[in-house]
Amino acid sequence: MTLQFVYNGQDFVTEAQRSSGNGLAPEPSNFDLTIQAGWSDRMNRGLFRYHLDDLQTRIIPGPHGYVAQLNIQRGLQRRKPQEILSIKQEFNANQFNFNKIDPEEVIFEMTKVVEGRKEKGQLHERWRVVVLVNVSPLEFGHCLFVQEPSCCLPQVLTSFSIQVGIESVLLSSDPGFRVGFNSLGAFASVNHLHLHGYYLHHELQIESVPVKPLVPEKGFYRLLDFPAGFLFYTESECVVKVARAICQVTDFLVESNTAHNLFLTRGSPPSDQIQDEKDHCSRKGVRIAVWPRTSCFGAKDESAFNVALCELAGHLPFKNKKDYELSTEKDVKDVIERYLLPEAEFHKLEQHLTHHLTDL
């Protein structure tokens, strides 16, 4: 019988902190313990395509602090990605999807309960979320959040899936737990709605980079550093409202045939200034970066350095030792630059989205 993970708003961790030194790791939450125990169990039982040990890691010199990791086995052993031809491609039951996995890969099902009365603005309470291991892991704890697999939803975000992503970050006491999404045309490998979650115990610039307010009452900002993109921010009491605003943006991107990646992480409150030490280390809320980007269709070149959710956030899994050891910050930026929208196109999109969210 599948393990049930039941939670409510009282389970959110509201005081996570990013240590400014080599402090002790935070006490794991019940959510962390459940994912980590289930993931380790499946690893020990041989359900993965390869055994993931501690990955060789280096910080690439430079102001962006890119976190490079050597993960050769993922490039060699992972399931061949599906050929994607459109951002609006329909679900195809004949292709691989999460209804075809080994049931032993499921860690648990997530259910949110609201005691006493229906939570104001609560989204689609009837949906369930299945959390399963990614059998070709990027990092420790790499799992997938799949919204009601039997509904066969294509890889297009819903308000509910965004809300679950945000709440998963809030359920973790570990500032290294991240969640992300690749749209079709942005290196999604499977056209069946899912988000990624994993632990990366290295600080990323996206956690505190300065931002410019666009529609701050809806938590909407523009990132002021490379790569160009947008940022939402929310703390536990505004998750539903911000999830809806994010979905309005991603719906707009889908309708305009613009590929996109999302990265959700604990982060400091938005500011257009370099923050002092206290604010820099604060992780009360969740930052959600949204990167519109050029579309990449057809099958992935698995020998290449593919730019998806974690690469845009500054986490760089390399598939060969030479690139891992020799790549400079300029090399990385040059590769990422090829996938970003031209500046004029991004600026036009910024104006459209600002007006769109202001009018809604």
Catalytic residue, candidates 194, 196, 260, 315? 194
194-199: strand order across its sheet:
4-7, 106-112, 129-133, 143-147, 194-199, 177-182, 259-267, 285-293, 230-234, 220-223, 211-215
Number of CB atoms found within 10 A of residue 257's CB = 11
CA distance 286 to 265: 6
Outline where DSSP puts E strands in 160-229.
177-182, 194-199, 211-215, 220-223
What's the rounded Cα separation, in Å, for the pair 35 and 246? 26
Distance, in Å, from the CA atom of 220 to the CA atom of 225, rounded to the nearest integer, reads: 16
3-class SS of residue 26: coil
DSSP character string of 109-131:
EEEE--SSSPPTT---TT--EEE
How many residues are present in the chain? 360
- 356 in Cβ contact with 215 (< 8 Å): no
d(CA 250, CA 289): 12
* Catalytic-residue membership of 194: yes
Residue that has been written with the tokens 């005081």 in this structure:
15
Residue whose pair of structure tokens reads 């061949």 in the numeric block: 80
SS (H, E, C) 134-172: CCCCCCCCCEEEEECHHHCCCCCCCHHHHHHHHHHHHHC
Residues forming the active site? 194
